Amino acid sequence: MTSTSVSAHHKITRPNLVAVGTIVWLSSELMFFAALFAMYFTTRAVQGPKIWLESTGILNVHFAAINTTVLVLSSVTCQFGVFAAERYQARRTGSIFNFKSWGMREWFALTFLMGGFFIAGQIYEYASLVTEGLTLSSAAYGSVFYIATGFHGLHVTGGLIAFLIVLVRVSKARRFTQGQATTAIVVSYYWHFVDVVWIALFSAIYLIK
């Protein structure tokens, strides 16, 4: 590896204003979700364990666990995309079935599909719960459930839009630049954040009944 490539590698991995600003913004988002958790557990305490257990009984935990697994694995594929961005590899260098040759574009596209699967699964779950009689206004549990998971779903959707923007820019660019690599890394920060938040939400809503 030449001194030039080493220098370029250090430039994209060293904290910069964009990355630091993203971390600060995510810290404020963390406070927002902390408020949602506080709302959830406060409502649970007011309703009582018996009513809460009856309300959570209609949740499809197995389906939610599969959906959660897909979202968690999308963080892995996203990180592989980051590794490719750090070595300035935008596209695959071999067969599409040879994952070792994949670049940032392929890994981010797979991450986008997995995130889309999660959102589709969440919409399906909402439709199923509505048929069971659980709506936003049917009960206190319905309100906190849809508010907490709905806001998270909006954040996941925002992440999907960010992936699309990155993919479009890379496909139109003649060469992969340091700025594009930095953008990919910053988007990964956000995606890992929404994944970690969902793990906490899944545990609180589906497991701790």
Are residues 134 and 145 in contact, defined by beta-carbon separation less than 8 angstroms? yes
pLDDT band at 2 (very low <50, low <70, confident <90, very high): very low
Mean pLDDT of 49-67: 87
In the chain, where the domains are located? 3-207
Tokens representing 18?
Answer: 């964009």
Q: What is the pLDDT of residue 18?
A: 66
78-82, 107-111, 177-181: range with lowest mean pLDDT: 177-181
* 153, 156, 160, 163 alpha-carbon torsion, rounded to 10°: 170
Q: What is the pLDDT of residue 79?
A: 96
pLDDT at 158 over 80: yes
Tokens representing 2?
Answer: 């030449």
Average pLDDT, the chain: 87
Taking the C-alpha atoms of residue 6 and residue 64, their distance in angstroms, rounded to an integer, is 43
Instruction: Look up the CATH architecture of domain 3-207.
Output: Up-down Bundle (1.20)
Mean pLDDT of 91-96: 87
pLDDT band at 103 (very low <50, low <70, confident <90, very high): very high
Mean pLDDT of 104-129: 97
Tokens representing 65?
Answer: 């666990």
Q: What is the pLDDT of residue 65?
A: 96
pLDDT at 113 over 50: yes
Mean pLDDT of 179-202: 93
Mean pLDDT of 116-143: 93
What residues contact 80, with CB distance under 8 A and at least 6 apart? 102, 107
